[in-house]
Chain A
Amino acid sequence: MSEQAVSRTVYYRVFFALIVLAALTALVAEVNLGPFNVTVALVIALVKAGLVAVYFMHLRESRSLVWLVLLISLAWIMIMLVLTFADYATRSWGQFR
């Protein structure tokens, strides 16, 4: 019972953090940080997604296999991005003399 109450407190705290981060990302977008606007926005999004996954989706208590499934799919997204950019990032290198 008390364990449940603890987990509810955690849920409320995480929710509070998520709301703060969402507000932060909206506010920080108004400030000109040059190329760092994207970086900041993505870092905040990653933190939010991490909070939802770890606490709301109970990754924290899940077996390592579930972590593995998640990590592999994230790794595969990275493979897709990085290798596609092996093409796009080098398109301008000496394509025409």
Chain B
Amino acid sequence: MPEWITWLFPDQASTIAPKVDWLYLALILVTGSVALLIFTLITVYSIRYRRRRIDQRGAHIEGFVPLELFWAVIPFLIFMGIFAWGGVIYYERSSPPKGTIDIYVVGKQWMWKLQHLEGPREINQLHIPAGYPVRLLMTSQDVIHSFYVPAFRIKQDVLPGRYTSQWFQATKPGRYHLFCAEYCGTEHSRMIGTIEVMRQEDFQQWIEAQRATQPMKSSGKEVFARLGCDSCHSSTDTPLGPSLHNVYQRKTSLKGGGSIVADESYLRESILNPADRIVHGYQSTMPTYRGQISDEQLNELIEYIKSLKR
């Protein structure tokens, strides 16, 4: 990106940011030239064909079909090109690579609560290493929020009752704005924070310093025990409940037809509202844990279930 034009852009601090910016520049170029063409034509015609005599009429021209087709078809083709370009980048931003660093995000009026898998919690602040793909697993405690980091060119709404996710890979150490982009009430404009991108070794140091906390899955294991989940969900399937080992990302058939991939949203739903979608071959005996578990604990519990391998 040439130097003289950078004032148009916020910091470019993720792998996807330059791609979005190039597309943006290309759009400015294409649409700019069309706009320029139209404005020039209007100006030239307005001067050249100004009315000179009071009774002067315009020429009698009905139209010209080939020209109409030309300016319908050519723009359409250009549009399809732009669509494809934007679609490719969108596909990339929607498809996280394997081996991401996962961060759990809980939005509430009006703050961001974040937690690393290693255990440390942060509020309105997130420390992450540069050069690693990071995936955010996000949910809201109340209304819809939106996790927006302009420097990374990423944004995703955060919804109550389910998880949404997005990913990015930071490229440049520094401090960047975190905004809530979906209007969420009185203090919406203060639901902001900082993303602190650190060099790999700095991040290691930082996370070491937070060692007082234990990893999410360990906390999750405690929750698992406290709620007595293991009385029905043991390491093998029992008549009471299916085993949770390897359940994560498994395609599960449901009672009443259909099937579902057991992703974070389904695990969450099954804990809070077990009767909604029951695994095929089981009865609806599990009680709801709504109200007995906070969103943070729920995240920890899910992280523990995800860690269960045979």
Contacts and interface: CB of A to CB of B under 8 A. Distances in A.
A95 interface: yes
18 contacts: A35-B257, A92-B260, A92-B261, A94-B95, A95-B165, A95-B263, A95-B265, A96-B163, A96-B165, A96-B249, A96-B261, A96-B263, A96-B264, A96-B265, A97-B95, A97-B96, A97-B98, A97-B249
A96 B95 CA distance: 8
Interface of B: 95-96, 98, 163, 165, 249, 257, 260-261, 263-265
Interface residues of A, number: 6
Q: What is the interface of chain B mostly: helix, strand, loop, or mixed? A: loop
Q: Which 7 A-B pairs have the closest CB atoms?
A: A96-B263, A96-B165, A97-B96, A92-B261, A96-B264, A92-B260, A94-B95
Interface of A: 35, 92, 94-97
B306 to A, nearest CB: 11
Q: Is the interface of A mostly helix, strand, loop or mixed?
A: loop
B257 to A, nearest CB: 8
Contacts of B261: 92, 96
Most buried by B among A35, A94, A95, A96: A96
Contacts of B98: 97
A35 B165 CA distance: 34
Contacts of A97: 95-96, 98, 249
Nearest to A93: B261
